[in-house]
Structure 1
Amino acid sequence: MLPSQAHRSLAARPQPSLFSSSSQIRLRSPCLNLNPSPLPFLPSTFIPACIFAEEKPDCCVLFYPQDRSARRRSVTAEMERFVEVANTVADAAGEVLRKYFRQSYEIIDKADLSPVTIADREAEESMVSIISESFPVHAVYGEENGWRCKEKSADYVWVLDPIDGTKSFITGKPLFGTLIALLHKGKPV
């Protein structure tokens, strides 16, 4: 097969989707845009091999929906609910962050001398309130306010960083993100 034919056959494949490898749920990811390819010398449908790890089935992977080699497990109502709440939490954080982005506000230095803003704190509070309402027995570990748990321990722990890239956020550069993770007994869901 000639290189130009290989490129054409790759380009005809469907666009990739972001899935949790522990289910068949498609995660909503408006930032996921691999077309055109971020690297101009690669075909637009290229999927970085480093993000697909057979030996770590609890990570998120990118793959083509028709790729039969990827192991998928059955969708559970519980997993659907986790994804729904995670999307709601991300939307709530985004709403708060848009209110403060490129505005004037006080910047405080934490003990480790990293900056924190009212946007960090308000976004985390909105995220925690949604998780607490949806899953009262789950624990939350937020970057700004630490551990929160109604019980002594919890099987599920949400790990939150409302603004990963606070310095970029403060300077008005759109190079920041909101991080949300869910652990079950210490392992990523």
Structure 2
Amino acid sequence: MWRYTWHKAFRLYPILALLLFFTVWGLCEEPENLALGKPVWTSGGIGQGVPELLTDGNTASNPYLGGPNRVQVDLEKPVTINVIKLWHYWQDGRTYHQNRVAVTLKDKKLLPFEQFDPDEIVFDSDVDGEYPETAEGKRIEFEPREVRYIHAWVGGNTVNQWSHWSDVEISGMALTRSRRKRVDRQIVVEFSGGV
């Protein structure tokens, strides 16, 4: 029979203290997906799926939005972000060409990629390098900035000429702000136990 003695309990204190620390400081939190359920605009024709698939939170390869060579996600208000995760069809590890992402405060859906300011472009596979698609998606990190619109382009892939969009996740400063609110809290953890 296993007995729970004070020295076994004492070994748990550091683990409990770390768990409490991470929870209080927000280190265990998942970043909020600011794109979830947001409106999507597309250009280039839709061959399969609906635009809403891009912001439904499902990162699986299928179902996907097939056809458009350009998409725009409207966050509906300016927010501060610094991370975009993008998924294309990834089941066979294909690589997409002319894969580009830009962020803006203004609606620029009618402008071609070449008319975006260089500081609005956060990823360009022609400059930053192409990559094989995976279930983990492509994580694009950049300096935090206030944006409302996420623009993305793709021009075919290593298997065929089509574009396939699975999902986009957008996150950033929401987690940092919640941490700032928690900094003023003072937590005292006392351990007591007898010998």
| TM-score of the two chains, using structure 2 as the length reference | 0.25
Give the structure with the higher percent strand: 2
Q: Which has the larger radius of gyration?
A: 2
Give the structure with the higher percent helix: 1
| TM-score of the two chains, using structure 1 as the length reference | 0.26
